[in-house]
Structure 1
Amino acid sequence: MTALILALTAGAVIGLALGALGGGGSVLAVPALIYLLGFTPVAATTAGLVIVALTSVTALSGHARDGHVRWGAGLLFAAAGIGPAMLGSALAANIPAAALQAAFALVAAGAALRMLRPREEKEATRTTRPGRAAAAGAGLGAVTGVLGVGGGFLAVPALVGILGLRMRGAVGTSLLVITVNSLAALALRGGAITQLDWAVVAPFAGAAVLGAWDGRRLSSKVRGQTLQQIFAVALLAVAAFMLIDAVV
């Protein structure tokens, strides 16, 4: 019963993060599965991808109906990142776990600090440059592959800072990137999926899906700058915890 309550609570929080902020799901899901529910890192990563994929699809549909998904930029990001993500995953097997965790914390902190910098929020009217979007997507995919996360917490600042999207557009578009990346990663983990503890994963995913709907509604009521600041503060907190855990 305790595991069920923890799974439902953590799932709801992660769903809110993905629905409202367009990222943070894998950052929160994997630690929750390991520290709260006793999953091994490998099982937690696989379960996290399942949860994030389902939640991202749910949130993406709502953001798409609201016109907050930039399909061209999102598909370029996702397509360009698939190959580098696979290469990064292969390289990650040879990197010590503590070093990976510390690198993850530093990258998350850097993304958060970038989003905390004041910037004028206005819609980009220029045409998206395919080369720029593809390069950013490839870099995102490589980092995602090495660090073993969905990448939404990096996709949002990349879409805001590099392509000049407004926060709500970046949120919706990042969900597209997360969905594609998560499904691609799951395609390589078919055997591991069948070994998951679905008595925990299913309610976790269900609560996350419901939370994503509430998160989407929240994103429509809160101004973009506020969402950006909430997202950045959450990232800094996660980064600090993981860095301390890696070095202590």
Structure 2
Amino acid sequence: MIAAIGIGVGIGLTLGALGAGGAILAVPALVYGAGQPLDVAIPMSLSVVAVASLGALLPGRRRAAVRWRIALAFAAAGVPATFGGAALGRLLPQRWLLLAFAGLMVAVSVRMLRSGGEGGGGEGGDSGEDHAGACRAPVEAVNRRRCLPKVVLAGAAVGVLTGLFGVGGGFVVVPALGLLLGLTPQQAVATSLVVVAANSLSGLVAHADAISEIDPAVFLPFGAATLVAAIAAGGLASRLAGRIVRKAFAVVVLGVAAFVAVAAIIAPQALG
């Protein structure tokens, strides 16, 4: 229970502050920190991240920043793709799945460490400067001819990652919203939370066969701690220095990735 609460607080804080990243730590934390089998950790992570994402949207200022049409376009492409990702995950040995997950974590952390201020997390400090590749969507619409193909492709990629690894995909959605559509950091984070919630719920349906195996003694404290931390971080996000939060988080993800890779190689029996 103590491990579950600690994991939940850390994931809720990152999700609420950055609009991304919480679930990428949830699965390895549940497997190696709370002793959950991988096939149970994935739906547990998805269910909690979905609720926490909605909780992070409770502050009125955060909800006002959501660009709903853009969020729905991402979700429409991502939701069906989660089922393909889940089906692919069932074909892979758990050791190789975790090794691939570690590779994804490394890619995410490197991108965060190298990125500047482009709509990439934390709502304070980093402004959305002009990007050459941005579609420059109007406030409530997507420039369909220029942006929709990119949105659909990015949304589908996020859906596959959600179904395959049990992650919400905010680490892809947030920079895509800033770079492709020209959203401000505040808009990108808020809109990402809607996409993460939708993808996580569809991923949970795709992994419904493992829901009955979830241990309530781990799930309830984990879920409660994540939700409370996400709501708190959502209210404080505008006061946080986004670049500092993002880079600190990237270092943590890089360290966890190394641990996951080593553990999957030398201790595959720990996967359940």
* TM-score for the superposition, normalised by structure 2: 0.79
| Aligned residue number for residue 229 of structure 1 | 247
Partners of 2:27 and 2:41 within 8 A in 1:
yes
- CA drift of 1:10 comes to 1.8
Secondary structure, aligned partner of 2:57: helix
Q: Closer, same or farther in 2 for the Cα pair 1:64/1:45, shift >3 Å?
A: farther
Match of 1:126 among 136, 139, 147: 136
Aligned length: 245
| Equivalent in the alignment of 2:76 | 79
Q: Determine if contact 2:48/2:226 at 8 Å carries over to the other structure.
A: yes
**Per-residue deviation, 1:64:** 5.9
Alignment of 1:39-50 (within 5 A): 39-50=36-47
1:69 aligned to 2:69? no
After superposing on structure 2, the runs of 4+ consecutive aligned residues of structure 1 that deviate more than 6 Å are none
Structure 2: segments with no counterpart, 5+ residues: 118-126, 267-272
Deviations 1:136-176 (A, max 9, x none): 11122223323332222333333334434333332222211
The reply to whether residue 96 of structure 1 matches residue 119 of structure 2 is no
What RMSD, in angstroms, separates the aligned Cα atoms of the two structures? 2.4
Amino acid at match of 2:83: M
Residue ranges of structure 1 left out of the alignment (5+ in a row) = none
Normalised by the length of structure 1, the TM-score is 0.86
Q: Tell me the SS of whatever aligns to 1:93.
A: helix
Determine helix, strand or coil for the equivalent of 1:89.
Answer: helix
- Whole-angstrom CA distance in 2 between matches of 1:32 and 1:194: 20
Native 8 Å contact 1:15 1:210 kept in 2: yes
1:217 partnered with 2:227: no
**CA drift at 1:19:** 0.7
User: Counterpart of 2:254 in structure 1: which amino acid?
Assistant: L
Q: Distance between the aligned counterparts of 1:153 and 1:239, measured in 2?
A: 15
Deviation string for 1:27-53 (max 9, x for gaps)? Answer: 222222222222221222121122111
Distance in 2 (alpha carbons) for counterparts of 1:242 and 1:162: 32
Aligned-residue offset at 1:104: 1.8
1:111 aligns with 2:108: yes
Which deviates more, 190-199 or 46-55?
190-199
- Residues 53 and 182, structure 1, Cα contact 8 Å, conserved in 2: yes
- Whole-angstrom CA distance in 2 between matches of 1:18 and 1:197: 23
Corresponding residue of 2:178? 160
